[in-house]
Structure 1
């Protein structure tokens, strides 16, 4: 097959991307109240289609909130599924919304910490967690601060969708870095870049089992070393969507005594800080992820 015919074949296989792009751009421009209403409807419609993910979330909530009774956990599960469905629309908002649509949607606390770090010429790891609207928070921070932000992403296995997603992200952000692209991350940081970064998902390598809501969670221990190698500041970055539909973003100064030189202790500090934030708005955390998939030696799977 010639190069021209191969390109034409690829375009034919990806014929659905153009209409998806148009639909995504339209959704991204919806008024906030309408987008959130659509997210609630989507949560209802997707409920029967998310059986496996609902099961993961239900198990996670039972492990992390043993003090809640059955009715309270069921209500939290429904709120989380609604937030997760809404998060899909907020992802489109992050990728496709023009700046005019994002005006007034966010307020940011702690910008002085980011500006001080970037003024010194250092790269910055914005150290957060996997919430249902993480990329939108990064986009909003970029707009409010005027500081270009890179995002760490998981590549999609579908070639056509990945081309669409990557193109949208590159238009919205300063750049993208694949989840396991350590060289790319270090290069961006060493050049003074700002990177939105989270390490709170299940890790099977360079990990330590540390408490998260009282449950041993396999947590990456490499973050302090990455920051050291990239000569970067590590600034905690938290966010949530308020009842009024607006987003509250907060940047903190690097934690005192962190890193400590003990990777496991540093991972435990991260999980402790994250837990405090999650408890404030538990429905907005990504509970549909198998956070406790990897277990300490001798422990059975919690997702059986």
Structure 2
């Protein structure tokens, strides 16, 4: 690491200490502090909230302005709370997570793993993404691996890399296709996300009725590794606990039309998001890439 980078990251160690403390909080306290921090940080999140407002206007056009603003506020609370849930995912001892989640569809995962095969676990960007992967790993009795986008030289990236190494079996860079295939071929379980805006290997498919540039290479990766794709979703319930649901494999994963799989992915994700619309990463410019002739809404 260069001498110029090291001084900028002196906060990593104390931030790690704070994360470890947060990880041991009772769930009620964690959720309460998520609400408090959301109120404190709201003025600093104006840009992110503006993106969320645009996305929600596109995806929920029938909501009036007051209802959309209420949803923006709820999404801010969920997103900020997600930072605390991330700390819990990274550092909470297994016993602290006991009883925190109900897991459905484990039989689909057990069937896909017959013969020691790996599984590509397809999910999406929710505030409690890391915690959902940790909870699923606890239910299975073995940690998942995860594939994430890395930002070289970032202090926040250093903190996240350290935390995820505690919570996951391995952390694979988003562009490390060989690493992904190697992990799957060795029987690993890899959490994989493909729901953000893509400018390559993508197709425009509907997401809440809006054409969204969506990655199409997921089925090809599974074929190359010789594994199944199983979608899984995690949502926080009104009582503060979590539901992790594993779906059976989709027929589209075995077809010859990658765009059909991408369209199925967005349909299923939309159904999940509609159940708890505040619990999605609306801060991302999901519709930045547009079909020819359309301007970006941002």
Q: TM-score, normalised by structure 1?
A: 0.94
Cα offset for 1:159?
A: 4.4
Cα offset for 1:274?
A: 0.8
- In structure 2, how many angstroms separate the alpha carbons of the residues matched to 1:169 and 1:293? 29
Structure-2 residue corresponding to 1:194: 189
Say which SS state the counterpart of residue 200 (structure 1) adopts.
Answer: coil
| Residue in structure 2 matching 1:248, options 218, 243, 248 | 243
Structure-1 residue corresponding to 2:178: 183
* Structure 2: gaps (5+ residues): none
Cα offset for 1:167?
A: 1.9
Structure-2 residue corresponding to 1:152: 147
- In structure 2, how many angstroms separate the alpha carbons of the residues matched to 1:56 and 1:236? 27
Structure-2 residue corresponding to 1:85: 80
Aligned 8 A contact 2:101 2:241 in 1: yes
Aligned 8 A contact 1:94 1:135 in 2: yes
| Residue in structure 2 matching 1:279, options 259, 274, 288 | 274
- In structure 2, how many angstroms separate the alpha carbons of the residues matched to 1:286 and 1:122? 31
- In structure 2, how many angstroms separate the alpha carbons of the residues matched to 1:46 and 1:37? 14
Deviates more, 1:271-280 or 1:163-172: 163-172
* Structure 1: gaps (5+ residues): 1-5
Cα offset for 1:147?
A: 2.9
Structure-2 residue corresponding to 1:162: 157
- In structure 2, how many angstroms separate the alpha carbons of the residues matched to 1:156 and 1:97? 25
Say which SS state the counterpart of residue 234 (structure 2) adopts.
Answer: strand
Cα offset for 1:163?
A: 2.9
- In structure 1, how many angstroms separate the alpha carbons of the residues matched to 2:167 and 2:200? 31
Following superposition of structure 1 onto structure 2, how do residues 106-121 of structure 1 map, counting pairs within 5 Å?
A: 106-121=101-116
The structure-2 alpha-carbon separation of the partners of 1:159 and 1:282, relative to structure 1 and needing over 3 Å to count, comes to: closer
- In structure 2, how many angstroms separate the alpha carbons of the residues matched to 1:187 and 1:218? 28
Cα offset for 1:171?
A: 1.6
- In structure 1, how many angstroms separate the alpha carbons of the residues matched to 2:116 and 2:125? 27
Aligned 8 A contact 1:236 1:252 in 2: yes
Cα offset for 1:164?
A: 2.8
Aligned 8 A contact 2:203 2:214 in 1: yes
Q: TM-score, normalised by structure 2?
A: 0.96
Aligned 8 A contact 1:135 1:151 in 2: no
**Structure 1 residues 90-134: Cα deviation after superposition (integer angstroms, max 9, x where no partner):** 111111111121111111001111122223221101111111111
Aligned 8 A contact 2:252 2:261 in 1: no
Question: What is the count of residue pairs matched by the alignment?
Answer: 298
Cα offset for 1:10?
A: 6.9
The structure-2 alpha-carbon separation of the partners of 1:75 and 1:14, relative to structure 1 and needing over 3 Å to count, comes to: closer
Cα offset for 1:13?
A: 5.2
Superposed CA RMSD: 1.6
